[in-house]
Amino acid sequence: MTRLGGSTVLVTGAASGIGRLLSLEMARRGARPVLWDLSADGLEALADELREIGADPLTGVVDVGDSAAVAVAADRVLAEVGAVDVLVNNAGVVSGMPLTELSSADIERTFRVNVLANYWTTKAFLPSMIARDRGHIVTVASAAGLIGVARQTDYSASKHAAVGFDESLRVELAQSAPGLRTTVVCPYYIDTGMFDGVSTRFSWLLPILAEDDVVAKMVRAIEHDRARLLLPPLLYALPLMRLLPARLFDAAMDVLGVNVSMQGFVGRPEGAQKSPQ
Ligand SMILES: NC(=O)c1ccc[n+]([C@@H]2O[C@H](COP(=O)([O-])OP(=O)(O)OC[C@H]3O[C@@H](n4cnc5c(N)ncnc54)[C@H](OP(=O)(O)O)[C@@H]3O)[C@@H](O)[C@H]2O)c1
């Protein structure tokens, strides 16, 4: 079990969406939140909310894709609040365009934030976790880390990398630091605004997930040291579906509407955040 009460949790991409709700939920359970994001205003608003429920947050404006910035910010955290018990690699970006329309800057940004950031943050906090043989690394990947989706060549590949990062780290730590835990989270679309405009064909089978429901399940998965959380449950059938020849697998995904899901994608307009609830 990972106890959140009395622990220090660091959430990247904390100023909106899943990161924001997760920070609030973990603080309600007695965790001390450390919040990193690009948005100073978003962090300050969340810090105010957290103080209202009695938490004592530490905030940092950090570009998690920048290894030097992460190293400096991590030193500050270690000096001011000590070792981190739970690190949630949540910050993420999406481009939502066909490959021919993606610029090299788009592709590099996706890999900096969705992949490389996991290395910079985890390398910064892992030594202190290993020294105490205690700690939990959470990787927020995606269902797109388990299947390729049209208009997601950069996003889906980056999330496949995140899933591979978690799995390799998990088995590596089982050999060298058995007290540590990892959890990878692979949700289908969530109503945070990041994927505004996407559609689903069979909402009873592949629903657009509610962010508070996802966060409640994430908290339970972390507390129970679950290695994997896939949402909705249909995703657990993917390994079986993968036994199909590629053409049949693609046809099955087409029937489910997965490869037209991004056709109406608009994403979150610059600067717009889902209002606090
Ligand atoms: N929403 C979905 O449908 C969905 C589905 C599956 C998985 N996920 C994953 O879940 C995670 C959270 O997504 P969300 O829906 O909550 O999205 P979100 O509301 O857009 O939150 C992402 C947060 O990451 C921050 N961020 C982006 N680049 C950053 C950087 N370089 N350094 C620090 N922070 C950065 C963003 O800050 P700014 O807003 O200031 O840029 C934002 O606050 C992501 O990893 C996403 O890929 C989302």
User: What confidence tens digit (pLDDT) does each residue in 226-260 have?
Assistant: 999 999 999 999 999 999 999 999 999 999 999 99
Residue where the block lists tokens 């993968």:
242
Rg value, the chain, Cα: 18
The set of catalytic residues is 155
| Residue 41 within a domain | yes
Question: What's the DSSP call for residue 112?
Answer: I
Please check whether residue 240 lies inside any domain of the structure: yes
Residue 270 confidence (pLDDT) above 90: no
Distance of CA 169 to the CA centre of its chain: 16
User: What would the mean pLDDT of 152-166 be, rounded to a whole number?
Assistant: 98
| 20 C-alpha to ligand 1 centroid (Å) | 10
- Structural domain includes residue 273: no
Asked whether the predicted pLDDT for residue 184 surpasses 80, the reply is: yes
Atom of ligand 1 nearest to the CA of 15: 43
Site residues for ligand 1, CB cut-off 6 Å: 12-13, 15-19, 36-39, 42, 62-65, 90-93, 113, 140, 142, 187, 189-190, 192-195, 268
Angle at which helices 117-132 and 67-80 cross, to 10°: 30
Quickly state the pLDDT bin for 271 (edges 50, 70, 90).
Answer: low
User: Which one of 18, 262, 274 would you pick to mutate in the ligand 1 pocket, going by the greatest count of ligand atoms within 8 A of its CB?
Assistant: 18
From 26, 22, 23, 21, select the one nearest 4 (Cα to Cα): 26
The Cβ of residue 59 has, within 10 Å, a number of other Cβ atoms equal to 19
Q: Residue 43 C-alpha to ligand 1 middle, in angstroms?
A: 14
pTM here is: 0.97
Total structural domains in the chain?
1
Q: Is the pLDDT score of 191 beyond 60?
A: yes
At residue 275, the pLDDT reads 42
Q: Would 235 be classed as within a structural domain?
A: yes
Taking only the tens place, the pLDDT of each residue in 19-70 is: 999 999 999 999 999 999 999 999 999 999 999 999 999 999 999 999 999 9
* Residue with CA at minimum distance from ligand 1 atom 19: 17
- Name which residue sits closest to atom 6 of ligand 1, judged by CA: 142
Query: How many percent of the chain have pLDDT more than 90?
Result: 96
Q: Which of 48, 77, 51 is nearest to 64 (CA)?
A: 77
Residue 188 covered by a domain: yes
Position 275 in a domain: no
Check residue 277 and give its pLDDT.
41
Give the mutation target among 93, 109, 119, 183 for probing the ligand 1 site: most ligand atoms within 8 A of CB: 93
Q: Whose CA is nearest to atom 8 of ligand 1?
A: 142
Query: According to the model, what pLDDT value does residue 268 have?
Result: 87
Neighbours of 168 (CB within 10 A): 11
Distance CA 209, CA 190 (A): 4
Tokens 């993917």 belong to residue: 238
Instruction: Tell me, yes or no, whether 63 lies in a domain.
Output: yes
- For the chain, the residue count is 277
CB atoms within 10 A of CB 52: 8
pLDDT at 253: 96
- Ligand 1 atom 47: residue of nearest CA: 92
Q: Is residue 268 part of a domain?
A: no
What is the identity of the amino acid at 187? P
pLDDT of residue 272: 58
Which residue has the least CA distance to atom 42 on ligand 1?
13
- CATH number, domain with residue 196: 3.40.50.720
Domain of residue 92: give its range. 8-260
> Would you say residue 139 has pLDDT above 80?
yes
Res 197 pLDDT > 70:
yes
pLDDT at position 273 is 55
- Tell me how far apart the alpha carbons of residues 195 and 62 are, in angstroms, rounded to a whole number: 23
CA–centroid distance, residue 245 to ligand 1 (Å): 34
Tokens standing for residue 177: 């630091």
Average pLDDT, the chain: 96
For residue 171, what pLDDT is reported?
Answer: 98
